[in-house]
Amino acid sequence: MIPSFSAETRLADGVVNIVCGAGPEAGEHLVGHPSVAMTSFTGSTAVGRRVAEIATGTVKRLHLELGGKAPFVVFDDADLEAAVHGAVAGALINSGQDCTAATRAYVQRPLYDTFVAGVADLMGAVRLGDPFDPATDLGPLVSHAQRDRVAAFVERARGYARVVTGGETPGGDLAKGAYYRPTLVTGAAQDSEIVQSEVFGPVLAVLPFDGDDEGIALANDTLYGLAASAWSRDVYRAGRATREIRAGCVWVNDHIPIVSEMPHGGYRASGFGKDMSAYSFEEYTQVKHVMYDNTAVAAKDWHRTVFGDR
């Protein structure tokens, strides 16, 4: 147990405590302990399921912010340049290690080829390097193990899809770090691993669609429901997308900006509960109903349900 930070933060002793240890030992003990009233977990859906399973034993409250596979739906009246820039920025935020990152782009067929070409060109111009260098666009992943995990996703995808750009680790000095080039994948089936599973790296899969019904249906065809975006100049078309796409956050003509004044949280396998905004306080609030009677009357009106006409 690390001592509390009262000297630095002026919090009372015991308000903040940090327990270090691996999930199967320290984490599971905390989640299952009867003295812990609530567990808030941010991480993968697989671990979130385990947290929920353990918490069930003590019927404690949970807040789960889990995985995502955010769709990026581009209708045929969208501003193409804005959509291309938005897709690349949305896919590469935090080197793709973001549960709200754009990972599945669905582009209406009239714009599909031009969109793919534009994204490939822009991804190809992204500069990898030292995150402290202002000239760097994209830094490394969190670890070599995560880089290798991302690379394995892409290598498996080569067997059923086309890697348009990227799909490799850089050479030279960058080879020493956990870098992976921005990667664009096309030609994958909707039910393929690269489309359905959370890669958590700088990888974007792009698929075409025809009618609006199909585009929205494809966006919803996943276990997740954390974030999504719709791109259109038509306010009614965009409005329909925001209503029908099942995600906790749906942006229109942008992807990724999150403001603390608004709630953040998912549907389905992306978990439940909200971070940020006033809504987040509700997750950590236990409502109690207290009622006083100050009439000093022994026999109350409702007692007739027991005593009849007496």
β-strand 38-42 against 183-186: which pairing, if any? unpaired
DSSP secondary structure letter of residue 11: P
Phi, psi of 274, rounded to the nearest 5 degrees: -125, 140
Q: Can you list the pairs that 245-254 forms with residues at least 24 positions away whose Cβ atoms lie under 8 Å?
A: 245/71, 245/73, 245/216, 245/219, 245/220, 246/220, 247/70, 247/71, 248/274, 249/100, 251/227, 253/78, 253/79, 253/82, 253/86, 253/229, 254/86, 254/229
**Residue 296: partners with Cβ closer than 8 Å, 6 or more residues away:** none
Q: Is 20 left (phi over 0), alpha (psi -120 to 50) or beta?
A: beta
Report how far apart, in Å, the C-alpha atoms of 42 and of each of 27, 48, 236, 305 are.
Answer: 12, 8, 34, 49
| 65 tagged catalytic | yes
Phi, psi of 49, rounded to the nearest 5 degrees: -60, -40
Residues 250 and 235: their CA atoms lie apart, in Å, by: 14
Question: Which entry of 28, 53, 81, 99 is annotated as an active-site residue?
Answer: 99
Q: For residue 90, which amino acid is it?
A: G
- For 301, the 3-state DSSP assignment is helix
| 99 tagged catalytic | yes
The answer to whether residues 249 and 100 touch, using CB atoms and an 8 Å cutoff, is yes
The answer to whether residues 140 and 177 touch, using CB atoms and an 8 Å cutoff, is yes
Question: Which entry of 25, 65, 198, 261 is annotated as an active-site residue?
Answer: 65
Catalytic amino acids?
Answer: 65, 99
